[in-house]
A and B are shown apart, each in its own frame.
Chain A
């Protein structure tokens, strides 16, 4: 239907905090008119039966292709022994005899009874003739079988291959060698498999109400061919997929005609890997304070180049020193090239010093944060607790403080690390374990709607339900503004509508 009237719906337009009984006229994928019930006349109507609608969700930080590859991976997070890992590989091969590659993810030796990672000899027992890659949860260790090892051709100066007492490689690789191994894995992953996996991931995305997303792809942890794949295939899908190429090679980005760069340009690392740069030692590793991968001068050079090339840049910064370094860099470069038009970004912003928050506002930086981290990484004995200790972990993801400072904060799932589910993000932000960092439901919804649109310079098209904007909606089972905070997680997406067309319907799926 090119022209139809959406009626009988509770509209949260994200302009005001109220829920309104409105009717929406949609013409050719655009919101033509919004009026109180009974005013607009139209033959074609679409009855939402009193359901609540919000603007289509925007996921501002997602690793789309790694999410696809995860579809093929055996999740080894809960494996208890090496034998269990091998058994799961055996089962996978039996289930899919045609499989030409085994990928295992989220492996950690701490949960294995042997307290060691499998070796290539272990893996050869169950897969001699096809490649096997097992990746640790934080990507820093990759274990491969002999088949892969013989194809890797690791440069001589990479000395991070673990060897046994006979000086034979065990198949385990750490740090830089593991990065090369992962790249090899991505190279071996066929485009056909990627397309099939993409279809599954797409279904999951629209099931969660996402109509636009920023795919953070390429760069040193992933593979640049993923960017090419997305450029080639993204238009086959009705949702908007914007690519954020995590490279520092400005020319590559310009050649592809992209207007933004970065995402996971890692200024520092992550808490899990203990390389997010913090001012005081990690609680579980005295003396370790993480790492800055760029010098102050290098990061300023990069920001300056992007500004001169008219590219929007976003940089990964997690620890308080990483964040401070990045803010300093923006500040120094902005002094040289002052403008009020900039909308550059910081990704993650997990542990800022409180005094740095107003500086972000002053510089007009947009933040992309991940409330769901609080849901998964917090808690007694959780990752934040282990790495940062109780007191410091109370300061992570200070959403309330950044909102109060007037900063625009977009929401990202960080899928494939965590689920691509904006409603989970809303729930996590509203129920932040630290009461002082909690958002209201409306504010949390803003992260995945209008703030996401603003961060992507699309606020004229998306993020609110207003005349002239795209008819991107999510139909919800309940009104989040009227739900108790703890009940938010029970709300589900009933329909996802993109450019006026239903691209997901729970009823149909059932």
Chain B
């Protein structure tokens, strides 16, 4: 006979794979939960105290007998001959030793004991164990049992938190930033006032080259603590933020001096995707001239024809231009397949993912993308540029973007503000 007990989230019981939760009374469930967790011998008085402390002796005895009968009945409904509760003596009971017990919390322990945990396992762990221990399980007239639940719930949460935290730290050390971020973002949901979590997330974003996300995290921590508890952030958080901000401020000063930024600097600046945003068409023309006189690097020109693009039109305009750079049939076919999505219902994530995979797979040495007027491009196109920048999959692409300040939309403003603090993005103010 096999019993599976789910302690995390909504309580449930399975006997030989059959769901029996609904067949058990609340107190029968409580007794099973309590006995299964420690699996030892229990004095009946102990159980009476736990569940019927306010009842008379007679009434407590009667209720305990009924609960035990209920538990036995449920197991016998699966196997008529199986007695799940053994009377060790008149007043002591225990679970049948031949009962094979499986508990979801054991899988957690086993997982945490692994030396290395894969990304899939982490995701599964967050999904399966992120909920509360014995969620909403409360028996109103069983004070001692409720105290026990509260105590166990707290211990599990603490164990879950500490284990996951050390897993996040390990992932950070192994430069596995995505996993570490997933874990920490999950822990923040559990402990939203814990500044040290926010600080770790900020550091991760910075290491990952996403300073704008680090700033966003800082602002979120600041908002939550102020709004919920009227607290300011610690000096440590502020000073780390200042460090990031200082670089941003230095960069802002640099921007002023970057009027003479030349094409070579952009091309050779680093091995990352680069974006130059300017409100001065002269700069774009200068870069384009530099480009033409420099060498024969491929060039894509977008938004040459005026008119605001419809949602996703800008992305497909990019694909249509990009396809001309290829001669290999397979690449062309692949791009055409992606382009055919325009006739279907478009899922942004699917489209962006497929396109960024293609760009990564067919990376060229360098590719210049000139956008003559960002205001002509639709918001989805801006989302796409932002997406491939975040994914870090298009190191070969150098965007030269012009925008007209008079036509600045809130999406463009947000894009420029957010991108403006990244090291590899140059905003040249006109």
Interface residues of A (CB under 8 A from B): 121, 124, 128-129, 146-147, 149-151, 153, 155-158, 167-169, 176, 179-180, 183, 219-221, 224, 247-249, 266, 293-295, 298
Is the CB of B229 closer than 8 A to any CB of chain A? Answer: yes
Pair A179/B228 contact, Cβ less than 8 Å: yes
Interchain residue pairs A-B with the least CB separation, the first 5: A128-B140, A220-B230, A155-B191, A157-B194, A150-B138
- Nearest opposing residue in chain B for A157, CB measure: B194
Pair B227/A247 contact, Cβ less than 8 Å: yes
Task: Find B229's partner among A124, A167, A169, A176 (CB 8 Å cutoff).
Answer: A176
Pair A293/B140 contact, Cβ less than 8 Å: no
Pair B193/A294 contact, Cβ less than 8 Å: no
- Nearest opposing residue in chain B for A292, CB measure: B232
Q: How many Å from the CB of B153 to the closest CB on chain A?
A: 8
* CB<8 Å pairs between A and B, sample of 20: A129-B140, A149-B150, A151-B136, A155-B190, A155-B191, A155-B193, A157-B194, A169-B150, A176-B193, A220-B226, A220-B227, A220-B230, A247-B227, A248-B226, A248-B227, A249-B227, A293-B231, A293-B232, A295-B232, A298-B232
Is the CB of B141 closer than 8 A to any CB of chain A? Answer: yes
Pair A220/B229 contact, Cβ less than 8 Å: yes
List of B residues within 8 angstroms of A158 by Cβ: 193
Bound-state Cα–Cα, A124 to B192, Å: 30
Pair B232/A146 contact, Cβ less than 8 Å: no
Pair B229/A146 contact, Cβ less than 8 Å: no
Bound-state Cα–Cα, A249 to B227, Å: 8
Is the CB of B143 closer than 8 A to any CB of chain A? Answer: yes
Q: Is the interface of B mostly helix, strand, loop or mixed?
A: helix
B window 150-178: CB within 8 A of A: 150-151, 157-158, 161
Bound-state Cα–Cα, A129 to B157, Å: 25
Known: A155-B190, A248-B227. A167 touches B158 (CB 8 A): no
B window 162-207: CB within 8 A of A: 190-194
Known: A157-B191, A158-B193. A220 touches B161 (CB 8 A): no
List of A residues within 8 angstroms of B192 by Cβ: 155
Pair A294/B232 contact, Cβ less than 8 Å: yes
B window 229-285: CB within 8 A of A: 229-232
List of A residues within 8 angstroms of B333 by Cβ: none
Q: How many Å from the CB of B195 to the closest CB on chain A?
A: 8
Q: Is the interface of A mostly helix, strand, loop or mixed?
A: loop
Q: How many Å from the CB of B164 to the closest CB on chain A?
A: 12
List of B residues within 8 angstroms of A247 by Cβ: 227
Pair B143/A156 contact, Cβ less than 8 Å: no
- Nearest opposing residue in chain A for B148, CB measure: A168
A-contact bits for B138-149, CB 8 A (1 contact / 0 none): 101101001101
Is the CB of B72 closer than 8 A to any CB of chain A? Answer: no
List of B residues within 8 angstroms of A168 by Cβ: 147, 150-151
Bound-state Cα–Cα, A146 to B231, Å: 28
Bound-state Cα–Cα, A220 to B224, Å: 10
Is the CB of B132 closer than 8 A to any CB of chain A? Answer: yes
Q: 8 other contacts beyond A156-B194, A220-B228, with CB at 8 A cut-off? A: A121-B143, A150-B150, A153-B132, A155-B193, A179-B228, A220-B230, A248-B227, A249-B223
Q: How many Å from the CB of A483 to the closest CB on chain B?
A: 42
Task: Find A150's partner among B146, B190, B193 (CB 8 Å cutoff).
Answer: B146
- Nearest opposing residue in chain B for A299, CB measure: B232
List of A residues within 8 angstroms of B140 by Cβ: 128-129, 146-147
Bound-state Cα–Cα, A146 to B232, Å: 32
Q: How many Å from the CB of B429 to the closest CB on chain A?
A: 19
Bound-state Cα–Cα, A277 to B230, Å: 15
Task: Find A156's partner among B141, B161, B229 (CB 8 Å cutoff).
Answer: B161
Bound-state Cα–Cα, A247 to B157, Å: 31
List of B residues within 8 angstroms of A179 by Cβ: 228-229
Bound-state Cα–Cα, A309 to B143, Å: 53
Bound-state Cα–Cα, A408 to B228, Å: 32
Bound-state Cα–Cα, A86 to B214, Å: 51
Known: A128-B140, A147-B140. A157 touches B193 (CB 8 A): yes
Q: How many Å from the CB of B382 to the closest CB on chain A?
A: 21
Bound-state Cα–Cα, A129 to B232, Å: 38
Bound-state Cα–Cα, A167 to B147, Å: 10
List of B residues within 8 angstroms of A295 by Cβ: 232
List of B residues within 8 angstroms of A128 by Cβ: 140-141
Bound-state Cα–Cα, A169 to B136, Å: 17
Pair B146/A146 contact, Cβ less than 8 Å: yes
Bound-state Cα–Cα, A149 to B136, Å: 11
Bound-state Cα–Cα, A176 to B225, Å: 11
Pair A156/B230 contact, Cβ less than 8 Å: no
Bound-state Cα–Cα, A249 to B228, Å: 11
Q: How many Å from the CB of B34 to the closest CB on chain A?
A: 16
List of A residues within 8 angstroms of B150 by Cβ: 149-150, 168-169
- Nearest opposing residue in chain A for B235, CB measure: A295
Q: How many Å from the CB of B272 to the closest CB on chain A?
A: 32
Bound-state Cα–Cα, A152 to B160, Å: 18
Pair A156/B191 contact, Cβ less than 8 Å: yes
List of B residues within 8 angstroms of A220 by Cβ: 226-230
Q: How many Å from the CB of B246 to the closest CB on chain A?
A: 16
B window 125-143: CB within 8 A of A: 132, 136, 138, 140-141, 143
Known: A129-B140, A155-B191, A293-B232. A150 touches B149 (CB 8 A): yes
Q: How many Å from the CB of B349 to the closest CB on chain A?
A: 26
Bound-state Cα–Cα, A27 to B193, Å: 56
Q: How many Å from the CB of A326 to the closest CB on chain B?
A: 15
Pair A156/B158 contact, Cβ less than 8 Å: yes
Bound-state Cα–Cα, A183 to B143, Å: 24
Q: How many Å from the CB of B84 to the closest CB on chain A?
A: 28
Bound-state Cα–Cα, A129 to B158, Å: 28
